[in-house]
Each structure stands twice: as structure tokens, then as C-alpha cells.
Structure 1
Amino acid sequence: MKEIIKSLQNSKYFYIIISGMDGKYAYVNQHYADEFNYIHESFAGQPYYITMHEDDRYTCEEVSKKCFANPGKLFPAIIRKHDGKGGYIYTQWEYLAMFDDDGKPEGIFCLGYNITEYVADKQNLEGAMDKIERNSTLLTRIAFQQAHLIRAPLTNILALTAILNKRAGDDELRSLCEMILESALKLDYTVRNIVENINISEDETKD
């Protein structure tokens, strides 16, 4: 343990904390001290929870209990830390119970690092996936409306125009019928094309 602490004393990425059985900091490495010096200039002897979100104290307590119940095993925890600006950063930790030479509980060893960017990326990705899902639902609704609510009466117009064209008594009326029929066919093609493109987009999203 001492070798690990010594090797990571000057780490630029990892935090090291040792909390005593009294719930106070017994040791922090330089990286942790530098990162959170806006909370306190010297952590030794300070309560372990002064850097964290109030709700995460319960997480620390529960993980610590697991550590002492399972000596030698590491247990993970995500803890929110004050960022000095009214917000929080996210940190990932692994806890390990420490015992003295007589086997009595001595404290908790914690190794952690900043995962704020990872959490932000994950939240952005989840937001994007939710938006895609909402858009997919909207596209499905549009496709249904195009396929059923619009094409159904359009089909009737095509059929009626064809019948009227056959019964037309003069060339002028027949010409008008043909113009209506041509426009209706173009509209039907456009609607079918929209529906097909929506279905293709949904299939690509699923893949």
C-alpha cells in the first residue's frame, strides 16, 4: 500500500484519499489537494464529506461498509464534488478497507479520477438518442398519415377522374379531366415517395 501511495503521490490524473475511522482525511495526494484547494487549503483532519454533494455521503457510507465486510476487495463509487462555481464535477472511485497489523479497521483507501467529460458526453448521447426516438415516432406518424389519410381520398379522386374522363361529352371537359388525372398521379407519386423515404430512414436508424 505504501508503495502505491508513493508512486501516485505526484500523479496528474489520479486522486488518492485515505480516510480514518473518525471520518476525517488522514491523507490526500498532491493532485487532489491542488484540484480542491478552493474548498480547503489543508485537508488533513477535515471531515471527508466537505468536498462532496450532500446526497453522496450515503454512497460513501454504504461502500465503506462493503469494504470492511469484504477485506481485500475493491468497491466502486461515483461521487459528485463541488467545483467551486456552484456546480459539481463527477469523480469515479474505488474503495479499499485498510487494517492495522492486529487486523483492526484503520481506515479507507480511495483511488479516483475525474469523469466529468465522460458523464457530459454520455448525457449528450442519451439526449440525442431520445431526440432520434422522438423524431422516429413523428416520422412514423407522418408516414401513416401520408399513406392512409391522404392517399385514400387521393385514390378516390383518381378513380372518379378516370370515370368522368370516359363519360366526358366534349374535348374541353376531357382535357380538364386529363389535367386533373395527371396532377393527381403526380401527387400520388410524391406521397408514395415520402412514405418510402421515411420507411428507409427508420430501417437505417434501427440498423
Structure 2
Amino acid sequence: MFNPNPAADGNCTIVFDTDEQKYLFVSESFYGLFGVGAGHLHQNLDFLTGLVNPEIFDGIKQLTDRLAMNESIQITYHLQAGQKQLTEKRTLATDALTGHKVILSNITSALEGVRTPIPFIKPGLSEQFLHSLIDSSTNFLVRIDINGKFSFANRLFFSAFGYDEADIIGHHFSKTTIPQDAYLCEEAFINCITNPGKIIRLVHKKPAKDGSLYDTEWEFVSMTDDSGAVVEIQGIGRDITPQMQIQEEVLQMKDSLEALINNTHDHIWSVDKKLRYLYMNQAYVEQVTYLTGVKPCKGQYSYKHEGFSKQIIDDWTVYYNRALSGERYDIISESIDPVSGQRLYYEVSFNPIYTAAGDIIGAGCFGHNITERLKIQKELVSQNDRLRNIASLSSHELRRPVASMLGLIGLMDHEDFYNPENKEIIAHLFTVSAEIDTAIRLVVDSTIVK
């Protein structure tokens, strides 16, 4: 019988009738957990066939064949495809309805939480095999007694941290704990002692023998005897140093980007599809607060900002919606400085924000103060107008009297200076000189900015 309801991806249950050699129950999550199709169980009476190393498969079969009624074993193995590591508790029981022997398997991802400890079993082939499984694990495995001293650690633990058994076994767990994290380890230890069966999670830095530090992630569970008393604590852990380094690099990049964005005078902000502020850099927050007297806040609806007039809100709602519809464009936004009363101009760029799937989830805005630029442009236009006016004056108002002066000088009697006609010409020269002076004054006046 197969369970029609999907279960959690991290665990599954399998019930196998050994007398009739058939599956009575299999969780739907089995297929995702083991990465196989439905045909796998129809073709194989042992669900691990072809999924684990043949030597591991044979060892598990030997352990299963040695089970007494109502006896359980717990084993950890990894799948050949994808190297996924799983923990299985396998129990031999009797079906109350049929009286048949059944194998009940509860399987979890290794770090999803092991609810019961790996058992101690009698010396011999089974113990050797179990230890080989433990030592082939890709996770750390340790046991700590109720006094806080190591009683066991697997091969990976020793090789990763450079310790020998003599360095660890019989020594307090604080030997592999840095002072800064000692309280975390103490709390985890006490929680395990006082909460039997509860999974206690711990993330801390563990020092290697050579002084190197490793970021590690652990799950601890207490082991109890038949009376329920805690006798040991078992921990399964893994090295997460690479992940932590990546996270640290990401945070550093984020902080650097934030610093860069917040050190610019340009305004950078974004809104979601409901026109709520998603992000605002410091320059935008300060400018809006200065202009309106009301500080904008992340998550606030931009169209409900108390400092904006209804007309401004209506205009900007249109701007945002254009970007949310996929349009990229620029506008010139005009504001009034509340202190000086001068006009301020900003060039604002609107850009839709897309997801990896191509869906628009918001609008990103970039504003740049162009007040000074427009002022310079205006001055340049005015200067060009003045230069054109000077050129016009030079061409007409100044050249005409100069031409007249040159003509009069040409009419003068240079041989007989006292010729009566020269007196009349000189009088005309005075008149022309006055005209030249007036034209020059016009040119000078045109160069002065009013």
C-alpha cells in the first residue's frame, strides 16, 4: 500500500512484509528523498538496491538479518547518486493483523534531526561494519558523556581538526571550543541533559589542533538507558566554513555597496507594485525630509506621504505606474527650496524592476540635481545672445560711422590744411566720432550681465 498524501521531503517511512515479500506502506516522499521513480519499488524488493555502495548494501543486509523481534538498529549511509546522506532506524516487528514479520524503516536526511542514537551493539562483524559506516560518513559524529568528556569521535572529526584519539577521548569538550563560544556549547550541553530526545542545534567556531578555526553546525541529542536516564550525548556536525565565508563576503559587498550608495548626492529609491517604498538611500531621505518636513520610511505608501500635495502625489503615481508597466524614461522634477525660495530641478530616471522570470515587481528611481547645470545652460544662452548682439552692433552701428569717418578723412585737403572746406569736414568728423562713441557704449552695455 502506498501513501497517497505527500510528506515532508526530509523523511519517509517504509513498511515491508518479510513473509510475503511485499511493501505494505511507503511514504510518497520516498521518491524525492531517494531520487527514484515509482518503478524502482516494483523492480526491487530491497529499496536500497542500486542506491548505495554494494559493500554497504551487503553490510546493512547482514545487520537486518541479525535483528531479533522488536530490536532496532540505526544506520547512516549516503546515496551513490548525489552523495545525499541519510539516517535510517530499522526495526523488526510483528503485524498485529496478519502476524507476519515486518521491517519498519524510518528514514531522515542526516542533518534533518536524528531522534534516536546509533546503538551500541555486540562486538563482531556487525560492530565493525557499523564503525565503517560511521567512518565513511561525510559528517562529524561525536559522543560526549554526562561529565562533558568525549567518549567517541569518528575518523572525519580527527582528520578535519588534526587531533589524535589521545588528544580528544576522555577530555572535556571545552578543549575543542574557543573561549568566546564556550557559553554556547555549555548551553547546548545543559539543554541536551535536561531535554532528553530533543534535538539541540548549535553553530560555533571549532579550533583545530594547529590553531585554525572552522565554522561548524551541529545537532545534538541525548542518549538514554532503559530507565530513561541520560547516559551520553551524540552530536552530528558539518563544516560550514565555506558557506560562512561566502556569507561574509556577501555582507561585505552589501556594506560596500550601501556605503557607496549612501555617499552619493544622487537620490536612489524604489517602490513596489503597491507604491510602497522598498529602498531609499540617505540622500533621498534627507532631501525629502528637508523639502517636506516629513521623513519618508521604508514600507510606507509613497502616495500617502504627508509632506506631498495631492497634485504631486497624483503626478508621481502616474510616473511610477508608467515604469511598472515596463516603460523606461526620464523627467525633470521641479521643487521649491523652503529656506531660500529658489527653484530646484532634478532629472529623474524611472526603470522597471524585473524578477529572473521577467515579471515586474517594482520601479527603481534615480534622481540627479541639475539646478546648477540648468543655471549654467541659461547663462550660456544669455551669453550667446549678448555675443550675437555685440556682433550685430559691430556690423551695423559701429561700421557705419567708421565708414563715414574714413570717407570724410579722404575728402580733406591734406596739402592745404587751412582750406575752408576742411573746417566743414572736421565738423562732420566730430559728429561721426560722437556716433562711434554711442555705438561703443552700446557694445559695452551688451557685455554686462543684467
- What residue in structure 2 maps to residue 109 of structure 1? 234
Instruction: Select the structure that is richer in helix.
Output: 1
Structure 2: distance between partners of 1:170 and 1:86: 87
Query: Which structure is richer in relative contact order (CA contacts within 8 A, separation 6 or more)?
Result: 1
1:142 and 1:161 map into 2 onto residues whose CA distance is 32
The letter for the 2-side match of 1:60 is C
Work out whether 1:155 is the aligned partner of 2:356. no
1:198 is aligned to none
Q: 1:159 offset after TM fit, Å? A: 3.9
Q: Alpha carbons of 1:78 and 1:105: their partners in 2 closer, same or farther (altered >3 Å)?
A: same
Matched AA of 1:73: K
Distance 1:44 1:165 in 2: 94
CA distance in 2, matches of 1:128, 1:138: 15
* Pair 1:140–1:12, CA change in 2 (3 A): farther
Q: 2:261 aligned with 1:136, yes or no?
A: yes
1:170 aligns with 2:386: no
Q: 2:136 aligns with which of 2, 11, 15?
A: 11
After superposition, where does 1:24-103 map in structure 2 within 5 Å? 24-38=149-163, 41-103=166-228
CA distance change for structure 1 residues 58 and 2 in 2, over 3 Å: closer, same or farther?
farther
**Cα distance in 2, alignment partners of residues 170 and 87 from structure 1:** 84
Moved more, 60-69 or 70-79: 60-69
Q: CA deviation at 1:130?
A: 1.4
Q: 2: CA distance between counterparts of 1:69 and 1:150?
A: 70
Any conservation in 1 of the 2:158–2:164 contact (CA below 8 Å)?
A: no
More strand by share: 2
For the residues of structure 2 that align with 1:86 and 1:36, how far apart are their CA atoms? 9
- In structure 2, how many angstroms separate the alpha carbons of the residues matched to 1:64 and 1:34? 24
Give the stretch that moved more between structures: 9-18 or 38-47: 38-47
Structure 1 residues 84, 46: CA separation in 2 closer, same or farther (over 3 Å shift)? closer
Counting matched residue pairs gives 171
Q: Which has the larger radius of gyration?
A: 2
Q: 1:85 to 1:151 in 2, by over 3 A?
A: farther
SS at the partner of 2:386?
helix
Deviation at 1:90, TM superposition (A): 0.7
Of 245, 250, 253, 1:125 maps to 250
| 2:354 equivalent in structure 1 | none
CA deviation digits over 1:45-64, x for unaligned, max 9? 11111122122221112123
Q: Which runs of 5+ in 2 are unaligned?
A: 1-71, 76-117, 119-129, 269-345, 347-366, 396-450
Q: Unpaired runs of 5+ in structure 1?
A: 172-207
Query: Percent identity over the alignment?
Result: 22
What SS is found at the alignment partner of 1:170? helix
Contact 1:18 1:28 survives alignment (8 Å): yes
